[in-house]
Structure 1
Amino acid sequence: MSDRPASLAIVTGASSGIGFELAKRCAENGFDLLIAADEPEIHAAADELRTLGVKVEAVEADLASMEGVEELYAATRKRRVDALLANAGRGLGKGFLDQDFAEARRVVDTNITGTLYLIQKVGRDMRARGSGRILITGSIAGFIPGTYQAVYNATKAFLDSFSFALRHEIRDHGVTVTCLMPGATETEFFERADMLDTKVGQAKKDDPAEVARIGFEAMMRGDGDVVSGWKNKLQSAIASVTPAAVLAEQHKRMAKPGSGER
């Protein structure tokens, strides 16, 4: 038996939804886990993941802040991180001018600032040793102007773009970067974003376990990007040739407050 420790994966936003399912995929494939979220449910998630026979440490930290990211990074105790699955994200519905700016900024700080800071800290270690895998959860929402979800969609457009650029910056250093781009998924996202009264909030959504499977396998192959599900593949292909004004109007019909009420 080898004395070499198991590979370690960091998974953020792992208390539920896609993040939890990504962590589960990692555990099923022999990764020890360092999981994080900004809510106490992360500890219950850790207990469940330990039943899969791997070591799991949970960090409850605010990943929208640099201090929270530093707390998570410190929890590695300088152990080698073989995979970083940067999945933490936050949404926000309604019109931008009607949103509380502190909440809008928190979307930006969670989805972009904290995510980039963690990727830079872990990515530098990976580059220095010449190996590692990074999975960034973007979204097909990044292809579409997000009327009534403007800040969220813009953050995902940033992440989609950033992931491609980073991949090409470090691809000769033994580190892969994969962007997972799901569509609407059956998670707590729409409830937390106060979008349950919208058409998209009430529509049938993708299974987070299947989305995670697709993303994990793409990361392990070292793919540059993957759109989960054929409907999302079709939607992203159509979005690439559709005028932005048309996409914005289509999104308005799906995300406008009250649009899902009968």
Structure 2
Amino acid sequence: MRARPLALVTGASTGIGYEFAKLCAERGYDLIIAADEAEILHVAEELRGGDLRVWELRCDLSTMAGVEALYGLARRLTRPIDILIANAGRGLGGAFLEQDYAEIRRVIDTNVTGTVYLTQLVGRDMRSRGAGRILVVGSIAGYIPGSFQAVYHGTKAFLDNFAAALADELEGSGVTVTCLMPGVTDTEFFRRAGMLDTQAGRSAKDDPAEVARQGFEALLEGRREIVTGWRNKLLSMTAQLTPAWLLAWSNRQLSAPDGRGKSH
């Protein structure tokens, strides 16, 4: 029997990553899934069934050791990774000067360093065989200076830019790179980022299953980028024409803790 294609999904324990893992399973992909929380074990059990195979790893993708452990698991399977969905990410709300630097560093290392390292390791293998699809989860936040989310928005600006550049570098190689840029989505993000006391934390949010569906379709089509939802499309276009100071002020209204949204 011919082996199923193989997908690797990071940050797959909850939210958009979990929905991506389900989509891959539904479309006939065996799975390697990873996250830094124990819930990833339960997700693996949920997804297993029939001849579908799932390998899970609880690891910290903010570290080189964590990335190497995940890549090592994939290499031991001696099967090519057909799809990489680099979804693992962290947020951090609050005023930059009041944040703990260890938390800042973990956001940067998870969102940027770990994503870049894993993408390079897997991407090299894909390029060598002339086939593969990579999806990087960026954000429309990358278009907006993120007052009271300065580090998170900065990491997403990097990812949006990085994915676009890599897609161009790999043009004609048989490897495609897609950047998914969602807006505010109904996940654990705001609780984990300490932002439940913000307007953004209380606002209506997009469905993670729909965000993942649109991203997955764009990935299979080989599109370079996808902004999900018409409101987010409008916001991303507007952001490119709006002065940075005004975007930062606007984001303050959404992301500042209660009582701190007014300008000084």
- Report the TM-score, using the length of structure 2 for normalisation: 0.96
CA separation of 1:204 and 1:260: change in aligned 2, threshold 3 A: farther
SS in 2 for 1:145: coil
Letter in 1 for 2:62: A
2:94 pairs with 1:69:
no
Number of aligned residue pairs? 259
Q: 2:138 aligns to what? A: 138
The answer as to whether partners of 1:178 and 1:222 remain within 8 angstroms in 2 is yes
SS in 1 for 2:226: strand
For residues 223 and 109 of structure 2, what CA distance do their matches in structure 1 show?
27
SS in 2 for 1:184: coil
The answer as to whether partners of 1:134 and 1:176 remain within 8 angstroms in 2 is yes
Percent identical: 59
Unaligned runs of 5+ in 1: none
Q: 1:201 aligns to what? A: 201
For residues 57 and 199 of structure 1, what CA distance do their matches in structure 2 show?
38
Q: 1:23 aligns to what? A: 21
Letter in 2 for 1:34: I
Q: Which moved more, 1:72-81 or 1:172-181?
A: 72-81
2:155 pairs with 1:155:
yes
What is the Cα deviation at residue 4 of structure 1?
A: 2.0
For residues 85 and 4 of structure 1, what CA distance do their matches in structure 2 show?
23
Equivalent positions of 1:1-262 (< 5 A) are 3-51=1-49, 54-76=52-74, 77=76, 78-258=78-258
* C-alpha distance after superposition, 1:178-204 (max 9, x if no partner): 000000000000000000000000000
CA separation of 1:52 and 1:138: change in aligned 2, threshold 3 A: farther
Letter in 2 for 1:32: D
CA separation of 1:255 and 1:52: change in aligned 2, threshold 3 A: farther
For residues 178 and 259 of structure 1, what CA distance do their matches in structure 2 show?
39
RMSD, aligned CA: 1.3
* C-alpha distance after superposition, 1:108-151 (max 9, x if no partner): 00000000000000000000000000000000000000000000
CA separation of 1:259 and 1:44: change in aligned 2, threshold 3 A: farther
The answer as to whether partners of 1:199 and 1:259 remain within 8 angstroms in 2 is no
Letter in 1 for 2:180: L
For residues 47 and 104 of structure 2, what CA distance do their matches in structure 1 show?
32
- What stretches of structure 1 move > 2 A for 4+ residues in a row? none
For residues 18 and 51 of structure 1, what CA distance do their matches in structure 2 show?
21
For residues 142 and 259 of structure 1, what CA distance do their matches in structure 2 show?
25
SS in 1 for 2:170: helix
For residues 257 and 50 of structure 2, what CA distance do their matches in structure 1 show?
41
SS in 2 for 1:171: coil
For residues 139 and 185 of structure 1, what CA distance do their matches in structure 2 show?
10
The answer as to whether partners of 1:9 and 1:82 remain within 8 angstroms in 2 is yes
Unaligned runs of 5+ in 2: none
For residues 204 and 54 of structure 1, what CA distance do their matches in structure 2 show?
35
For residues 103 and 259 of structure 1, what CA distance do their matches in structure 2 show?
23
SS in 2 for 1:172: coil
The answer as to whether partners of 1:199 and 1:260 remain within 8 angstroms in 2 is no
CA separation of 1:52 and 1:253: change in aligned 2, threshold 3 A: farther
The answer as to whether partners of 1:9 and 1:84 remain within 8 angstroms in 2 is yes
The answer as to whether partners of 1:91 and 1:189 remain within 8 angstroms in 2 is yes
What is the Cα deviation at residue 6 of structure 1?
A: 0.4
For residues 120 and 252 of structure 2, what CA distance do their matches in structure 1 show?
35
